[in-house]
Amino acid sequence: MTDKLQLLAERIRAARRLTILTGAGVSAASGVPTFRGQDGLWRHYRAEDLATPEAFGRNPRLVWEWYAWRREKIAGCRPNAAHEVIAAWSQVFPACRVVTQNVDDLHVRAGTRNLTRIHGSLWELSCWDGCAKGAAGWRDERVPLRELPPRCPHCGGLARPAVVWFGEALVGENLRAALEATACDVFLTIGTSAIVYPAAGLVHDARRQGAFTAEINLEATPASGTVDLAVHGGAEVVLPRVAERL
Ligand code: BV8
């Protein structure tokens, strides 16, 4: 492991452009449940039953009960050492870009710069009925939410979580930023099962452009066979150990 950490530190130190893709595993040490792990969110629910516009259209209250529960759980969570190292690198490296699939905003709370939240945020809502003012979305950090489902403050219609559901396109500017970030010298994919696209395709795009690619995860994923370096360990343990070698 130590040799791998030393190699990764050397690659990061020599990099001009560093891109970091994160998934739920980066927030696991903060107490935020992952999706597909042993105690994951999807074990109690089927993604298709909750994280799709069809599911919301069928039963907005059920979907909101799930998101309200996640908001309450995440409200009590704090950024962990993995978030802190990534935030520090985003402030120190002039060309460090962070692309997260996470909707918990813990990277935001850790002070991460050049951050693209490609699946949106649990702390932002938008108008399900698509009214002009509500379509852009608004921040709502109330815990608990007094009424379920919450209403759009602009038109009184249904509000939805401003996240990207399965079958929904990513917001154009976020997808563009994520794709641009694959033009880099070092691409780290950290704490993601590498199953959800287009996020899972980014490491392949980076490799095709000549980036040194590395994965930090507790277990092997579909990306493990692609990356130049696979480090098995918790992000909250590995990242500080790499940082101390820089
Ligand atoms: C789209 C909602 C097109 C918010 C989520 C090819 C190309 C394009 C699309 C597709 C494609 N193939 C299939 C699709 C469709 C689909 C998809 O990818 N399906 C999968 C299931 C096969 N993709 C989409 O629908 C996307 N939309 O492409 O639209 C389009 C174009 C035009 C017009 C219309 C449509 C939208 C995808 C976004 C879906 N929304 N969530 C929410 O409620 O959260 S996805 C959900 O999974 C989360 O957002 C999460 O971010 C994401 C990925 O999960 P992970 O973060 O990886 O978490 P997971 O639990 O799976 O894994 C955790 C990992 O951490 C594990 O590996 C574990 O070992 C590790 N770990 C745990 N602890 C630690 C750790 N690692 C390190 N340290 C630790 N301590």
Of ligand 1's listed atoms, the one at least distance from the Cα of 166 is 25
Please name the residues in contact with 23: beta carbons below 8 A apart, sequence gap of 6 or more: 34, 100, 101, 102, 189, 190, 191, 192, 193, 194, 199
Of ligand 1's listed atoms, the one at least distance from the Cα of 24 is 56
Q: What does the block give as tokens for 13?
A: 């130190």
- Would you name the residues annotated as active-site residues? 119
Q: What is the pLDDT of residues 76-133, one digit of tens each?
A: 999 999 999 999 999 999 899 999 999 999 999 999 999 999 999 999 999 999 999 9
pLDDT average, residue stretch 228-238 = 98
24: Cβ below 6 Å to ligand 1? yes
Taking the model in full, what pTM does it have? 0.96
pLDDT: which is higher, 77 or 35: 77
pLDDT at residue 42, as a whole number: 67
Q: Which residue, 35, 15, 19, 18, is CA-closest to 27? A: 35
Instruction: Tell me the CA–centroid distance for residue 196 and ligand 1, in Å.
Output: 3
169: Cβ below 6 Å to ligand 1? yes
Instruction: Tell me the CA–centroid distance for residue 14 and ligand 1, in Å.
Output: 31
The residue with tokens 């998934």 is: 23
pLDDT at residue 1, as a whole number: 73
Of ligand 1's listed atoms, the one at least distance from the Cα of 34 is 60
Q: Respond yes or no on whether the N-terminal peptide bond of residue 79 is cis (omega within 30° of 0).
A: no
Q: What percent of the chain has pLDDT over 90?
A: 91
State yes or no: pLDDT of 210 exceeds 80.
Answer: yes
pLDDT at residue 152, as a whole number: 97
CB atoms within 10 A of CB 49: 15
Identify the bridge partners of residue 188 per DSSP, sorted by sequence position: 20, 214
What's the farthest any 2 CA atoms get from each other in the chain?
58
Which domains, from first to last, does the chain contain?
1-32+79-119+170-246 (3.40.50.1220), 33-76+122-163 (3.30.1600.10)
38: Cβ below 6 Å to ligand 1? no
Q: What is the pLDDT of residues 64-82, one digit of tens each?
A: 999 999 999 999 999 999 9
Q: Whose CA is nearest to atom 80 of ligand 1?
A: 234
Start-to-end CA distance of the chain, whole Å, equals: 16
